[in-house]
Amino acid sequence: MGSLRLTQLQYRTIIGHCYDQLPDEGCGLLIGPMAGSTPTGVVTEARPCRNADASAVTYTVEPKDMLVAMRAAEAAGNEIIGVWHSHTHTVPYPSPTDVRQAVDPVWFYPIVSFREGEPTIRAYRIIDGEISEVQVEVMT
């Protein structure tokens, strides 16, 4: 399944955005290249988005933010390869709602958890309701 590769700046962008959205869940999109119909795992942009739900327990990427991200990805010759969100009080593992909302089987689904105080990030692939963890590499 490969790994999800973030730069230090992208990692800080994701964590920082999730902090900024507290007490609500933060969310955003990952943009990167594809190898055929599969993401390479390289992230070229971590794009913070608004949580249209404005909720501490659910998220929906603001549709206007999704459209802008899709256009930016296409203009750069890339695609949206994942969506991240935060769990404000639970472990970084997909909830039943997260599994139901997993819109694309090739996407990465990173989750940032604040349950232990310090943020923890883990990533998954969700295919036909089956959850598989993938390694998150923060490049130095």
Contact 94, 124 (CB under 8 A): yes
Tokens of 44: 């070229």
User: Is the per-residue pLDDT at 1 higher than 70?
Assistant: no
In the block, residue with structure tokens 């105080």: 117
In the block, residue with structure tokens 């599994």: 99
Q: Is the bond leading into 23 cis (omega within 30 degrees of zero)?
A: yes
Tokens of 140: 């130095």
Reported as a single tens digit per residue, the pLDDT across 4-59 is 999 999 999 999 999 999 999 999 999 999 999 999 999 999 999 999 999 999 99
Res. 107 pLDDT band, cuts 50 70 90: very high
Reported as a single tens digit per residue, the pLDDT across 76-89 is 999 999 999 999 98
- Structural domains of the chain in order of their starting residue, each with its CATH number: 4-122 (3.40.140.10)
pLDDT at 103: 83
Q: What is the average pLDDT value for the chain, to the nearest integer? A: 94
